[in-house]
């Protein structure tokens, strides 16, 4: 191919941190192969970053104002890797209004404020792409939106935060306390100085919101996603779960049934026989069930410069291919559907039904187990398995796996159990899920 005669897609990058610099490095380092794939030369002409103080090799314009990129008439695509809402939202909005394609790695922006941007992109006939916003280098957005387009998606479940998965893996394999592993994750760069988004599940909830919207063809609705963190988990919980044949993972789960949708992020017991239960370390994995294909699993690196840049550049390649074909509008709708469903209702966490792991710390007295069983039975909750550990002389940990129950009824049963004189601590409750792969 004669590169001089090939078309050129001119790109501006806003934000030059880990993802922005990784994107430029990948585009420059693999330029020949990318051009051979697309028939289009992808050229980064501008980079804007608040902390940018030097020129960047191969980039014509370097500066600190992202709006200069959004307003540059020569730029075809704006890549947003700044993160946060301000000024990211305004920059993306301006670029879309100016008829530019946008590629973003900003999961919070899409999940919480994405609908106006989706509508603006479609009104202007431009692409708003966000593969890199979910699961790093795993191409799960394309899988949901394009590869599984023939399917009705019934449910999906994902380990979609590498920091949380690293912490739980270390706690399981080395019987370490949460706080100790978190400190190590911060020292290794897996967790931020403020780890709230990772350990409280907010980061995973952003990603789950995006996947659920594409899977079920509904508007983005972060406000309906239930979120629960992992800080309360103990090495004992992880050991007891393993004794029962389970691993504990911090999962994002979305289901649709009979017009009801549930989206939730929380610690979850999964059978050790299931593939997703054995994804450890900082890895991510997403399990998707389609009515025709059955269950499919997508596994790989969920973060990092090269992995995330791989997804950013994949979106740029899609735009370059469209340009090579002379397409005036995106071939695939932003959320995968030309018409979104607005009739679906969100199920609250109190309305879900699942099995549960309960850890109850009780005084070592006669009749305590009978009273606990009586309170569960009174609320219609059956017992599937029990582990009663050795007493320390005063207290005994009792671990129960329940049959499937409604969360609101379990809440009532837990309140009754905690009111017993013999129960000395709050009951630990972890949901249990079974998947098809």
pLDDT for 232 beyond 90:
yes
Q: How many residues appear in the chain?
A: 437
Across the range 230-237, mean pLDDT stands at 96
Across the range 41-63, mean pLDDT stands at 91
Across the range 92-107, mean pLDDT stands at 98
Confidence of residue 5 (pLDDT cuts 50, 70, 90): very low
- Percent of the chain residues past pLDDT 90, beyond the cut: 89
pLDDT for 398 beyond 70:
yes
- Domain of residue 150: give its range: 140-301
Across the range 326-342, mean pLDDT stands at 93
Q: Which residue is catalytic, options 207, 323, 329, 389?
A: 207
207 noted as active-site residue: yes
pLDDT digits (tens, 9 = 90+) for 238-266: 999 999 999 999 999 999 999 999 999 99
CATH number, residue 107: 3.40.50.720
Is residue 168 included in any domain, yes or no?
yes
Is residue 331 included in any domain, yes or no?
no
Between 98 and 190, whose confidence is greater?
Answer: 98
Confidence of residue 53 (pLDDT cuts 50, 70, 90): confident
316 CB-near residues (< 8 Å, 6+ apart): 9, 11, 27, 42, 77, 79, 103
Dihedral, 81, 86, 91, 93 alpha carbons, nearest 10: 110
186 and 286 in a single domain? The answer is yes
pLDDT of residue 3: 41
181 and 192 in a single domain? The answer is yes
Site of tokens 């398995």: 385
pLDDT for 4 beyond 60:
no
Is residue 340 included in any domain, yes or no?
no
pLDDT of residue 436: 76
CATH number, residue 424: 3.30.70.260
Across the range 118-122, mean pLDDT stands at 97
Is residue 334 included in any domain, yes or no?
no
Is residue 212 included in any domain, yes or no?
yes
179 and 293 in a single domain? The answer is yes
Q: Which of 289, 324, 359 is the last residue of a domain?
A: 324
311 and 262 in a single domain? The answer is no
274 and 145 in a single domain? The answer is yes
Domain count, the chain: 3
Q: Which of 301, 336, 369 is the last residue of a domain?
A: 301
pLDDT for 1 beyond 80:
no
Is residue 437 included in any domain, yes or no?
no
270 and 170 in a single domain? The answer is yes
145 and 224 in a single domain? The answer is yes
pTM over 0.85: yes
pLDDT of residue 55: 83
Q: How far is C-alpha 55 from the chain's CA centre? A: 34
pLDDT digits (tens, 9 = 90+) for 355-378: 999 999 999 888 899 999 999 999
pLDDT for 2 beyond 50:
no
125 and 147 in a single domain? The answer is no
* Averaged pLDDT of the chain: 94
Is residue 365 included in any domain, yes or no?
yes
157 and 270 in a single domain? The answer is yes
Question: 7, 38 in Cβ contact below 8 A?
Answer: no
3-state secondary structure the chain: CCHHHCEEEEEEEECCCHHHHHHHHHHHHCHHHHHHHHCEEEEEEEEECCCCCCCCCCCCEEECCHHHHHHCCCCCEEEECCCCCCCHHHHHHHHHHCCCEEEECCHHHHHHHHHHHHHHHHHCCCCEECHHHCCCCCCHHHHHHHHCCCCCEEEEEEECCHHHHHHHHHHHHHCCCHHHHHHHHHHCCCCCCCCHHHHCCHHHHHHHHHHHHHHHCCCCCHHHCEECCCCCCCHHHHHHHHHCCEEEEEEEEEEEECCEEEEEEEEEEEECCCHHHHCCCCEEEEEEEECCCEEEEEEEECCCHHHHHHHHHHHHHHHHHHHHCCCCCCCCCCCCCCCCCCCCEECCHHHCEEEEEEEEEEECCCCHHHHHHHHHHHCCCCEEEEEECCCCCCEEEEEEEECCEEHHHHHHHHHHHHCCCCECCCCEEEEECCCCC
256 and 367 in a single domain? The answer is no
Between 394 and 39, whose confidence is greater?
Answer: 39
Is residue 344 included in any domain, yes or no?
no
292 and 312 in a single domain? The answer is no
251 and 387 in a single domain? The answer is no
pLDDT digits (tens, 9 = 90+) for 163-199: 999 999 999 999 999 999 999 999 988 888 899 999 9
CATH number, residue 149: 3.30.360.10
């Amino acid at each position: 191919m004669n590169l001089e005669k090939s078309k050129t897609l001119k790109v501006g990058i806003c934000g030059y941190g880990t993802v922005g610099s990784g994107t430029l490095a990948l585009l420059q380092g693999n330029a020949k192969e990318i051009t051979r794939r697309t028939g289009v030369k992808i050229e980064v002409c501008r980079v804007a970053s608040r902390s940018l103080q030097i020129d960047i090799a191969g980039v014509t314009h370097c500066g600190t104002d992202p709006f200069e990129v959004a307003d540059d008439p020569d730029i075809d695509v704006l890549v947003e890797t700044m993160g946060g809402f301000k000024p990211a939202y305004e920059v993306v909005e301006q670029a879309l209004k100016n008829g530019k394609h946008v590629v973003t790695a900003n999961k919070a922006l899409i999940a919480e404020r994405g609908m106006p941007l989706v509508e603006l992109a479609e009104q202007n006939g431009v692409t708003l792409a966000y593969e890199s916003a979910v699961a790093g280098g795993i191409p799960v957005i394309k899988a949901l939106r394009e590869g599984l387009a023939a399917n009705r998606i019934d449910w999906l479940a994902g380990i979609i935060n590498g920091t949380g998965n690293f912490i739980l893996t270390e706690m399981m394999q080395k019987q370490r306390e949460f706080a100790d592993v978190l400190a190590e994750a911060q020292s290794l760069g897996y967790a931020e100085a403020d780890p709230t988004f990772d350990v409280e599940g907010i980061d995973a909830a952003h990603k789950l919101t995006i996947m659920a919207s594409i899977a079920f063809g509904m508007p983005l609705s972060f406000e309906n996603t239930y979120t629960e963190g992992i800080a309360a988990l103990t090495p004992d919980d992880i050991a007891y779960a393993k004794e029962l044949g389970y691993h504990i993972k911090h999962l994002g789960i979305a289901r649709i049934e009979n017009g009801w949708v549930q989206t939730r992020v929380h610690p979850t017991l999964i059978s050790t026989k299931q593939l997703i239960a054995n994804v450890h370390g900082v890895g991510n994995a997403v399990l998707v069930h389609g009515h025709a294909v059955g269950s499919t699993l997508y596994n790989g690196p969920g973060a990092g410069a090269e992995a995330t840049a791989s997804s950013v550049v994949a979106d740029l390649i899609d735009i370059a291919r469209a340009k090579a074909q002379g397409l005036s509008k995106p071939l695939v709708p932003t959320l995968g559907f030309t018409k979104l469903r607005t009739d679906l209702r969100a199920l609250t966490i109190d309305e879900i039904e699942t099995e549960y792991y309960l850890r109850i710390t009780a005084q070592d007295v006669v009749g305590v187990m009978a009273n606990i069983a009586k309170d569960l039975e009174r609320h219609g909750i059956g017992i599937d398995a029990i582990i009663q550990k050795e007493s320390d002389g005063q207290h005994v940990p009792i671990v129960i796996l329940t049959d499937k129950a409604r969360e609101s009824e379990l809440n009532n049963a837990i309140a009754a159990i905690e009111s017993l004189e013999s129960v000395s601590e709050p009951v630990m409750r972890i949901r249990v899920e079974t998947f098809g792969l």
